[in-house]
Amino acid sequence: MKVPFVDLRTQHRELQDELKAAVCEVLESGMFVLGPKVEKFEAAIAELVGVKHAFGVSSGTDALLLSLMALGIGAGDRVITTPFSFFATASTVSRVGAIPVFADVDPKTYNLCPNALAAAIENETRNGHTVKAMIPVHLYGQCAEMDAILALGQEHGIPVIEDAAQAIGSTYSSRGGDRHAGTLGACGCFSFFPTKNLGGIGDSGMVVTGDDELAKRLGSLRVHGSERRYYHGEIGGNFRMDPIQAVALQVKLPHLERWNAKRRENASYYDQELKSLDLMTPTLSGPRENHSYHQYVTSIPHDRDHLASHLQDREIQTAVYYPVPLHLQKCFSDLGYQEGSLPNAEYAAEHTLALPIHPDLTPDMREHVAKSIQSFFR
């Protein structure tokens, strides 16, 4: 039985008529950049996550880039982030001229470790550098330890940009109650890359914030730094969302919670079936309902690659997120990190394996995955 890692065709087949009608409406409207359909989708996301301002942008990468620009991060500034994430989390820091500083992850959740973060802030300050922002990533759909991270931010006056690219629909339980990923820091960045839990039919993303001043800058920098057409107070970019993405995402949005619930159900099935084997299933840092399981990532102490090929032989697709931690990427070699600098991220890169978790996984498929993993360990 074939078990695909993602299955967008099934999802799109179910929504085909609505998607086609929505795209046709955009064609008829003749409005292909920003406009009322983007505004409607921005309002829907703002309502879903409970935030005042939302800006539809061209990708999750541009959401991060725009946030850094809006917060005034520039040449020589230090931005502390995780070494275990998608490339864009750190590349956008370099693109504004700032210097990414990596703090190691927690060995169980793979999210930024608050103690490592505190040590990195101290180290940078001791060396006379100014830390201008921190970017925790809510990896695989589980929120980073935001209470501790925000407390550090407050103590040192450092704004927090949440990389919530993988965490639409995720929540975080803190002393102040449950809040949506992306609404805890100064601003939050989402990606609607097609394979995300809420994915478009092309690239797009969103920045959300509750801060009126930051919102003003985000709005202007999204359109070349102009508040009025052809008048540029500062240099921004073209980070605009297109309405084709907005309408496709609007069609999908009412299904997001059901899809996320299905992912949680698949995760709980795997947890149960795999718990007695010599592998580590994902560690929950809060209630399961908070997690949107963008990925279900196991850690295999021995033979990760053998397990992957054993599953491949049984027509089960798996993936490795991420094979090379960011501090060891060739393009960051001048930052001075070496193998052994950030051991938890390096261990994760060598030992983790993501299993198919998407909402269209059938009971037969997930049983085939679980039985095939059990047979490997036997």
Ligand X SMILES: Cc1ncc(COP(=O)(O)O)c(C=O)c1O
Site mask, ligand X, residues 208-247, x = CB under 6 A?
----------------------------------------
Assess contact for 38 and 247: CB atoms under 8 A: no
Q: Is 355 in the site for ligand X (CB under 6 A)?
A: no
Tokens of 344: 């938890």
Instruction: Please state the closest distance from residue 359 (CB atom) to ligand X, in A.
Output: 18
* Closer residue to ligand X, CB minimum distance, 117 or 279: 117
Assess contact for 130 and 157: CB atoms under 8 A: no
Sheet with 205-209: strands ordered across: 53-57, 205-209, 187-191, 161-163
Tokens of 222: 């999204």
Cα gap 345→299, rounded to integer Å:
12
Please provide residue 71's backbone torsions phi and psi, each rounded to the nearest 5 degrees.
-85, 0
Closest CA to 353 of 288, 274, 286: 274
Q: Is 163 in the site for ligand X (CB under 6 A)?
A: yes
Instruction: Please state the closest distance from residue 201 (CB atom) to ligand X, in A.
Output: 13
> How many angstroms separate the Cα of 166 from the Cα of each of 40, 93, 108?
22, 19, 18
Site mask, ligand X, residues 115-154, x = CB under 6 A?
----------------------x-----------------
* Closer residue to ligand X, CB minimum distance, 196 or 217: 196
Burial of residue 334 (number of CB atoms within 10 Å: 0-12, 13-18, 19+) = exposed
Among 140, 193, 293, 296, binds ligand X (CB under 6 A): 193
Instruction: Please state the closest distance from residue 244 (CB atom) to ligand X, in A.
Output: 15
Q: Is 191 in the site for ligand X (CB under 6 A)?
A: yes
Q: Is 292 in the site for ligand X (CB under 6 A)?
A: no
User: By Cβ distance, which residue is nearest to ligand X?
Assistant: 60
Site mask, ligand X, residues 55-94, x = CB under 6 A?
----xxx-----------------------xx-xx-----
Is the link from the previous residue into 322 a cis peptide, with omega within 30 of 0? yes
* Closer residue to ligand X, CB minimum distance, 34 or 88: 88
Q: Is 166 in the site for ligand X (CB under 6 A)?
A: yes
Tokens of 64: 């991060």
* Closer residue to ligand X, CB minimum distance, 153 or 182: 182
Give residues 316-345 in contact with ligand X (rule: CB under 6 A): none
Q: How many Cα atoms are found within 13 Å in the side-chain-facing hemisphere of 85?
A: 34
Length of the chain: 378
Q: Which stretch binds ligand X (CB under 6 A): 43-51, 54-62, 302-310, 349-357?
A: 54-62
Checking DSSP bridges between strand 53-57 and strand 78-81, what pairing results, if any? unpaired
* Closer residue to ligand X, CB minimum distance, 85 or 318: 85
Please provide residue 222's backbone torsions phi and psi, each rounded to the nearest 5 degrees.
-65, -30
Cα gap 153→135, rounded to integer Å:
11
Q: How many residues bind ligand X (CB under 6 A)?
A: 15
* Closer residue to ligand X, CB minimum distance, 11 or 59: 59
- Which residues on neighbouring strands pair with residue 297, listed in sequence order? 354
Instruction: Please state the closest distance from residue 58 (CB atom) to ligand X, in A.
Output: 8
Instruction: Please state the closest distance from residue 249 (CB atom) to ligand X, in A.
Output: 12
Cα-to-chain-centroid distance, residue 341 = 24
Instruction: Please state the closest distance from residue 125 (CB atom) to ligand X, in A.
Output: 27
- The contact set with ligand X (CB under 6 A) reads 59-61, 85-86, 88-89, 137, 163, 165-166, 191, 193, 203, 205
